[in-house]
Amino acid sequence: MTTESTKNEYLSESATSYLAYVSVTKGRAKNTVMAYAQDLLLFERYLRDQKIEVEEVDTFIVSSFFNELKIGYMPSSLSRVRSSINGYLKFLASEGTITKTVDLGGIIRAPSQALPKVFSVVEVLELIESVDGDDPKNLRDRAILEVLYGTGMRISELCNLRLDDIDFDDKVAQVLGKGSKERVVPLGEQARTTLLNYINTARPKLVKDRRSKYVFVNLRGGSLSRQGAWLIVKSTASKLGMAAQMTPHTLRHCCATHMLEGGADLRVVQELLGHSSLTTTQIYTKVSLGYLQEVYITAHPRSMIRKS
C-alpha cells in the first residue's frame, strides 16, 4: 500500500459524516479532526485498491490493512491510526452501515506509555534564570518560560493567550484548551511579576504601532507562533546543554510533577492541566514515585543493607 500524499483525494460520504460527528457532537479540536481525516483517507484508499465496499469490512480486512501499514510507520503513529479507524467503525456500526463485528483488540496494540522526562526544580530554575537582561526579547523569553512552568499551559494555549484573558489582581488566566474547553489557571507570584513586567515594558516596544490582542508577540510585533515559542525554549535550553530533552511540553511535565511532589492533590493537577480524564494525569504519579524512591533510599535507615 502506498503512502503518498492524500491531498488530492476525497473522503466518502460515510467518512465525511463521521468527521462532522466528531467535530460537532464530540467537540474534537480542528487539528484532531484533520488527523482523523488523513487516517481515514489511508483506510479508504486501501479499500478502493482492494475493491472492497465499506459494508464488507470485517476483522480480517482491517488486520490486512494494518499489516501493510506497518511498513514505514512508527508504533505511535500506528496506534493513532488504530484509534481513528476504531472510532470510525463504531460510528458505522451505530449507523447500521456495517453489521459484522470488527475486533481491533489484537490489532496494533497501543505502545506502553513512556514516562516523560522531568528536570529537577533546580534545573528548571537554572533554565529560567539563564535569561536575564532588560531588552524586549529577553523579557519576553523569560516571561514565556515562567508562564509555561508556572501554569503548566500547553504551547498552543500560551500562544493563543490574549491580554484580556489575564486578571493580574486575582492572579489568574483564562485558557482555551483542547476541544475549545476553557479553564482558569492561577498565576504564581513569579509568573505574574515577570509577565506584568514584559507586558508593560517590553511588549509595547515589540508591537510598536501594530495592534495585537495576543500576549506574546514575535520580534516584528505579530502573534507568536507555536514554532516560534518552541524555538525560544530550545535555544535557551541549548545554552545549558539541555536542548536534547527540553521542550515546552517538558516544562508542563515539570510543573505537574513538582506540584505532586510538593503535596498537591491529583485532581487539582488534573484541573490545572486541563485533562479530561484523570487517567492521563496519573502518569505523573509514576514520575513522582521515582522521586519518592530516591528520598526513601537516602532517608530511611532500613532502605538498604548497611555494613557494620
| Of 45, 183, 234, 249, catalytic | 249
Active site residue 46: no
| Of 82, 140, 203, 252, catalytic | 252
Under 8 Å between Cβ of 143 and 168: no
CA dihedral 244, 202, 158, 235 (to 10 degrees): -10
| Of 36, 46, 198, 284, catalytic | 284
- For the four alpha carbons of 92, 95, 96 and 101, in that order, the dihedral sign comes to positive
SS3 167: strand
> Over 251-281, what HEC string results?
HHHHHHHHHHHCCCCHHHHHHHHCCCCHHHH
Active site residue 252: yes
Under 8 Å between Cβ of 60 and 91: no
Active site residue 154: yes
Q: Which residues contact 145 (CB under 8 A, 6 or more apart)?
A: 127, 128, 131, 233, 236, 251
Distance separating alpha carbons of residues 187 and 175, to the nearest angstrom: 12
Under 8 Å between Cβ of 154 and 144: no
Rounded to 5 degrees, what angle do the CA atoms 75, 114, 263 make? 155
Residue 13 C-alpha cell reads as: 460520504
| Of 80, 82, 154, 192, catalytic | 154
| Of 178, 183, 226, 234, catalytic | 178
Active site residue 178: yes
Residue 246 C-alpha cell reads as: 527540553
Distance separating alpha carbons of residues 179 and 29, to the nearest angstrom: 5
Active site residue 284: yes
Residue 283 C-alpha cell reads as: 502518569
The phi and psi torsions of 245 (rounded to 5 degrees) equal -120, 0
Active-site positions read 154, 178, 249, 252, 275, 284
